[in-house]
Amino acid sequence: MAKACDLSFQQRSLFQQGYQRYTPAELKQLEWGLRFTPAACSAMALYGLISANPVILLAVAALGIWAFFFPAAHPMDLLYNHGVRHLFGAVKLPENPFQRRLACLSAGIMNVIAAVLFMADMPTAALVVGGMLLFLQFIVITTHFCTLSWMYEGLMRLLGKWQVPVDENHARDLLKRGALLVDVRSPVEFADASLSGALNLPLEELDQHVDRLRGAQALLFCNSGTRSHIATEKLRSLGIESVYNLGAFKRARGLVAA
């Protein structure tokens, strides 16, 4: 079987941050723009730490806390969307999903702590807290890997609420009622091995097949369940509700064979 090619590390990290309705190509378009806000906030926080200025740190904290409550109104995102991106012809940033907003909130809280420590005449402790935050933000800026989003995914997996595929009994019932079986992997992977009767509608080309799926019930699968999850979320965002993530190829094969 062809090697799985679900998402690159950076795209997988953005998926963890909550960008789950975007194809790999769309995520690639967003990769650089999504670095702007954490980079800008980190630069301001760094200046606040170097100058031991709690006012600056509190101002940066306010940006993060504001962003948590207003998904489409982070001041740095607005600056990017209405100004910076036009210099490079880049795409507009979407509103921040919950995981990214949660990271903004946690960064805001850490900046508040650093500011309070400076005001309490504890500069060493303030630098430690601020330095830890800058280190974590540096990782986000360079790789898109967000420690808090990773922890959030781990918690959701533990609770059984992360990327949950359709229930097996429901899937079997849908198949009996004639639901379409859709393989969202690449044509190469599909040609290498797929399921009898499955349609190959690659995730990257999904926009071209929206009308084909409108009004139909469909079960989507891929190698690991990630691309089929993205495809399901994307189709639902386009108003196609009767689509379900069947999950990984191995699971889909077992259900079809049963």
Between CA 200 and CA 173 the distance in angstroms is 22
Do 26 and 144 lie in a common domain?
yes
Query: Using 50, 70 and 90 to split pLDDT, how confident is the model at 1?
Result: very low
Do 172 and 153 lie in a common domain?
no
Q: Which tens digits make up the pLDDT trace of 162-193?
A: 777 889 999 999 999 999 999 999 999 999 98
Do 39 and 137 lie in a common domain?
yes
Neighbours of 138 (CB within 10 A): 13
Do 61 and 149 lie in a common domain?
yes
**Which residue, of 158, 190, 217, is where some domain finishes?**
158
**pLDDT value at position 6?**
62
Q: Span 200-212, mean pLDDT?
A: 90
Do 87 and 175 lie in a common domain?
no
Do 61 and 144 lie in a common domain?
yes
224 contacts: CB under 8 Å, gap ≥ 6: 4, 6, 248
Do 13 and 38 lie in a common domain?
yes
Is 157 a residue whose pLDDT tops 80? yes
**pLDDT value at position 258?**
66
Q: Is 1 inside a domain boundary? A: no
CA distances from 140 to 22, 28, 114 (A): 19, 15, 20
Q: Which tens digits make up the pLDDT trace of 15-40?
A: 999 998 888 888 999 999 999 999 99
Q: Hey, what amino acid is at 160?
A: G
Domain count for the chain, please give it: 2
Q: Which domain holds residue 16?
A: 9-158
Is 223 a residue whose pLDDT tops 70? yes
Do the Cβ atoms of 196 and 256 come closer than 8 Å? yes
Query: Using 50, 70 and 90 to split pLDDT, how confident is the model at 76?
Result: very high
Query: Using 50, 70 and 90 to split pLDDT, how confident is the model at 256?
Result: confident
Q: Is 4 inside a domain boundary? A: no
Do 50 and 131 lie in a common domain?
yes
